[in-house]
A and B are shown apart, each in its own frame.
Chain A
Amino acid sequence: MIHLKNIARYYKRGFQKSWVLKDISLDINEGEFVTIMGPSGAGKTTLLNIIGMLDQADGGEYTFMHEPVHRFNERRRNELHKHHIGFVFQAYHLIDDLTVYENIETPLLYRGIKGKDRKSMVAEVLDRFNIVAKKDLFPEQLSGGQQQLVGIARAIVGRPKLLLADEPTGNLHTQQGIEIMDLFKQLHADGMTIIQVTHSEENAKYGERIVRLLDGFVRQDESSAKEEKSVS
């Protein structure tokens, strides 16, 4: 499903290039639950953003569902992105001025889904996540766990093929974290491809494959069971 080849990404600091990702090659199949780990600054989030098409690599090839993303313009990337990818953030990032219902509905608006269909899709997710009673509340009226629940609901309401989660439990208490991770497990069981970034070994156990990054390289890919040494 995802094929990354020699992906590189750098930022300019003054006249110097500061490399975040140097040479990443990675294949992820449909239905996998992958955890990306590594110390701070290893490039985890940057990699996730590139996979999620929020960011673009400076070099290398990225194929998503047989489409050469690295050759696409902004418009076509946006099309792919909004139809197939859902995002979950550490800080939830719900829109403050919208209710729970409206937050979940928003991605459907951008996909141009008709009002009637939107209603039933949102209702289904609300029901599935057990948050029907909260649908008219604003984010600030919810606890952190509940907000993240809404965040996940919003990410999957459009039935994406790929769910990307960046430290989804980072701001949560342990118990809430467990509940969220259970939810991911269940989504995975239902066939969703999930890539999560985390520092927590506990959370990593929910997945079936761990990719460890260090200084912009893949240091270890556990499911493939062989270490990829840096080529520098």
Chain B
Amino acid sequence: MIKHNIKLALRSFMRHKSSFFINLIGLSTGLACALLILLWARDEMKMDKLFALDDRIFQVMEHQDYSDGILTTKSTPGPLSSALVEEIPEIEYAITIIDPGKYNLRVDKKSIRASGVYVGKDYFKIFDLPLINGNSDQILSADNNIAISESLAKSLFGTADQAIGQAIEFEGVDLYTINGIFEDLPDNFSQNFDFLLPYEPYYQENIAWLSNWGSNSPHTMVLLAQGANEDLVNEKIGDFIKKRVENSQVTLFLKKYSDLHLYGNYRNGKQAGGRIEYVRLFSLIAIFILFIACINFMNLSTARASRRAKEVGVKKTIGARQQSLIYQFLSESILLTLVSLIIALSLVQLTLPQFNLLTNKQIALDFSTDLVLIFLGISIITGLIAGSYPALYLSSINPINVLKGTMKSSLGELWVRKGLVVFQFTISFILIAAVLIVFKQIQYIQNQQIGYDKDQLVYFNRDGRLQNQIEAFFTQAKELEGVQNISSIAHNLVGQQNNTRSVEWEGKDPTLDLLFENVRVNYDLLETIGIDLKEGRAFSREYGTDSSAILLNETAVSIIGMTEPVGQRIKIFGEEREIIGVIKDFQFQSARQEIKPLFFQLVPHYSWLMMASLEKGKESVGLKNLETLYESFNPGFAFDYSFVDEQYAKQYVAEQRVGVLSRYFAGIAIIISCLGLFGLAIFTAERRKKEIGIRKVLGATIQNILTLLTKDFIGIVLFAILVGLPIAYILSKNWLNRFVFKIDLDIGYFGLAALLMLIIAILTIGSQALQAARMAPKEYLRNE
């Protein structure tokens, strides 16, 4: 029986080639989309779940309770890890991790800038990264130990085998001995570094701020003891910091390390999504696209039912029961999806490199058993869904009517078909509208005036001799062609970097507890990055007292509530400062946040980043000159720079990815929908042949016939737009709510989306309709 069904299915494919190809193209692109999204979602789900002790690895996080809400952060105090191990028996190991930095490494004459991280000595006991060489118990046990990746070893020594025990010069001063070599980090690990250094000596060097329980910066990870209860530990560590710091508003809690990747966002102290939202969103889109392809199959199969009806009728008269006919039609649709799966897999293989580029992943199509089973499962379910309605519909045909030739399409059946097409175009419309709005919003935030000239700004580390001879560097750099101005700053002004709540002023509400962004700068910084002063003056070498001066932004002034701020005094870290000027608000975080209060203080000593503005049109000359100057100060150091605008744009990487991906998905959805529409148009033109012939004989023009054939479809598409409009509006409004700075949700975007879709739909059915309308009437009536 199966053989019989497959044979019939294949012959039916051959006989109805146009529907077959429409279905094949639709289902295989739909499946390819779904498989790509599946691979991506699987990759996302596997992120950071690679360690043997996964369920015992936790990140210690903080809820900080301020007047404007709870801030949740991974930043913790420097002494936390050792105190946790000492006092909480359930914590087996705890390590501190300092944010990665780019450092200069040298072996003989070979200099490399690589990404390094200071970590607690028990790092490898928690994260069991595979080692090529070294003993995981003591890789970082001595102060001068370093662990490097296989590729770093290869680029420094040519081979990983002989690197162990060798010495590396670090930042031109310290010497480290290689005590371990680890395999290059796997793609599903979110930490990113080329080498690791021990945290303990770093702590001693920076004891001034790292030993301070009130200062939060490094990350802390713990390994719970076997069988330890997470809730119990949470209870024990909750007030850990409050016990040590007076007036502390910090509550500690554990977050499973491998959950952070997908569930990393917090809003006012509550877990609020994260990348899981995108996993869900794209999975939903995958399901919709597949369903759109299924609808094509349903519609085309039922539309040409009259051709299959005879087969059904005959079979019923020779003893077929409805059940076996359902079975037959389902095997036909499943066969079709299995063929589509093969094509889809080749499409996936073909597009994976591009897809990886778009999503910044290294996904490969592997044929492990579970994946093959999932692929087959998805195909079969798709086949069942696609085949369900046609199978029920076709198998319930009454043989007497068919064999008499009096079968008519029922009204209900027409409604189902129209409803399905409406569904397809509703989804397509929502996707098109979403694409337009995401695109506009990204364009808006990229081009938003953020309050300083980020476009020509370049920054690099103040390292080597620059640390002590910065003034000499400034003087020479300012003379260089292509360099407009230069200064230094503590960090790069993108995102929250350093902040404090110890800002006091006269008349401050004692319950007010707010974070002020603390930016430590050198002279000329305002001039270099082009921030405008609202009143007062900037830091200047002409005033000897500027180390006790301060600049506030407008938001800070309005929070403090001063009408004449310049010349007044406030206290920062308990020290009195004089406000010498007010700077206009500028965006130092992303468009997702309100502008927060901020102050600039002059601390040349802590300004670790060199910040230079290049002359427009002479950027490459300026850069080249800077590099030459840098190398004359720091021979043996690689000149490693970044542009502020690129750094700024990186904040929107996720949105941009969503933008690009949704463009592709929307394109595919509309193509598949139009394929279905095309199939229906062919069918309608054929079915109404006789009517068209008669109308033409009676004097109808080509235009009359065109209107007759297209108005139904256009009505359907218009109806779909009507249905999709509120959904698209609500969805885009929700998405835009992530941003404080956003475009107005103009009806024009939806109008444009609607227009685009109508044009595409008209083009799709127009050609068919025109062909039918042009044919001479005798062609239609001849058969009668």
Contacts and interface: CB of A to CB of B under 8 A. Distances in A.
Interface of A: 45, 49, 52, 54-55, 74-75, 78, 81-83, 86-87, 89, 91, 93-98, 102, 105-107, 109-111, 154-155, 158
B541 interface: no
B365 interface: no
25 contacts: A49-B400, A52-B317, A54-B316, A54-B399, A55-B400, A78-B319, A78-B321, A82-B318, A82-B319, A83-B319, A87-B317, A87-B318, A89-B403, A93-B313, A94-B314, A95-B310, A96-B310, A96-B311, A102-B7, A105-B4, A106-B315, A109-B1, A109-B4, A155-B318, A158-B319
Contacts of A93: 310, 313-314, 317, 403
A107 B319 contact: yes
Task: Please report whether the interface of chain B is mostly helix, strand, loop or mixed according to DSSP.
Answer: helix
Contacts of B318: 82, 86-87, 106-107, 110, 154-155
A155 B4 CA distance: 19
Contact of B319 (A45, A102, A111): A111
Listed from nearest, the 8 A-B pairs whose CB atoms lie closest are A82-B319, A97-B11, A107-B318, A110-B319, A93-B314, A87-B317, A95-B311, A110-B320
Interface in B280-324: 310-311, 313-321, 324
Contacts of B404: 45
Interface string B565-593: 00000000000000000000000000000
Given A82-B318, A110-B318, A111-B319, A98 B313 contact: no
B398 to A, nearest CB: 9
B4 A106 contact: yes
A97 B324 CA distance: 18
Interface string B307-348: 000110111111111001000000000000000000000000
B8 interface: yes
A81 B320 CA distance: 10
Contacts of B400: 49, 54-55
B401 to A, nearest CB: 11
Contacts of A81: 319
Contacts of A106: 4, 315, 318
A189 B314 CA distance: 27
A228 B609 CA distance: 114
Interface size class of B (residues with CB under 8 A): 20 to 34
Nearest to B308: A97
A20 to B, nearest CB: 12
Interface in B1-50: 1, 4, 7-8, 11-12, 15
Given A96-B15, A107-B318, A109-B4, 17 more contacts: A49-B400, A55-B400, A75-B321, A81-B319, A87-B317, A91-B403, A93-B403, A95-B315, A97-B15, A97-B311, A98-B7, A109-B1, A110-B315, A110-B320, A110-B321, A110-B324, A155-B318
Contacts of B12: 97
A107 B321 CA distance: 11
Interface string B396-411: 0001100110000000
Contacts of B319: 78, 81-83, 107, 110-111, 158
A105 B3 CA distance: 12
A49 B15 CA distance: 31
Nearest to B15: A97
A154 B403 CA distance: 17
A89 B317 CA distance: 10
Contacts of B403: 89, 91, 93
Nearest to A105: B4
Contact of A95 (B314, B321, B324, B399): B314
Contacts of B1: 109
A164 B7 CA distance: 29
Interface of B: 1, 4, 7-8, 11-12, 15, 310-311, 313-321, 324, 399-400, 403-404
A75 B120 CA distance: 75
A54 B317 contact: yes
Contacts of A75: 321
B507 to A, nearest CB: 88
Contacts of A49: 400
Contacts of B313: 93
A10 B453 CA distance: 87
Contacts of B7: 98, 102
Q: Kindly name the residue among A96, A102, A105 whose own CB sees the greatest number of chain B CB atoms within 10 A.
A: A96
Contact of B4 (A55, A86, A102): A102
Contacts of A105: 4
A99 B404 CA distance: 23
Nearest to A92: B314
A97 B315 CA distance: 13
A212 to B, nearest CB: 22
B8 A97 contact: yes
Contacts of A94: 314
A141 to B, nearest CB: 14
B324 to A, nearest CB: 7
A91 B402 CA distance: 12
Contacts of A110: 315, 318-321, 324
Contacts of B8: 97-98
Contacts of B320: 110
Contacts of A45: 404
Contacts of B310: 93, 95-96
Contacts of B316: 54
Nearest to B12: A97
B185 to A, nearest CB: 58
Contacts of A158: 319
Nearest to B320: A110
A74 to B, nearest CB: 8
A86 B314 CA distance: 11
B745 to A, nearest CB: 53
Contacts of B4: 102, 105-106, 109
Most buried by B among A74, A86, A109: A109
A160 to B, nearest CB: 10
Contacts of B324: 110
A88 B317 CA distance: 10
A202 B324 CA distance: 40
Nearest to A155: B318
A53 B15 CA distance: 32
Residue picked from A75, A83, A95, A102, most chain B C-beta under 10 Å = A95
B310 to A, nearest CB: 7
B756 to A, nearest CB: 41
Interface centre among B314, B319, B403 (most CB of A within 10 A): B319
A97 B4 CA distance: 11
A55 B316 CA distance: 11
Contacts of B317: 52, 54, 87, 89, 93
A45 B403 CA distance: 11
A55 B7 CA distance: 30
Contacts of A111: 319
B308 to A, nearest CB: 9
A107 B316 CA distance: 10
Contacts of A54: 316-317, 399-400
A102 B314 CA distance: 13
A98 B7 CA distance: 9
A45 B404 CA distance: 10
Nearest to B318: A107
A75 B313 CA distance: 17
B397 to A, nearest CB: 12
A94 B404 CA distance: 14
Contacts of A109: 1, 4
A82 B314 CA distance: 12
Nearest to A111: B319
Nearest to A90: B403
A113 B316 CA distance: 17
Contacts of A86: 318
A105 B8 CA distance: 13
Nearest to A166: B403
For B315, B317, B318, B320, which residue has the most chain A Cβ atoms within 10 angstroms?
Answer: B318
Contacts of A155: 318
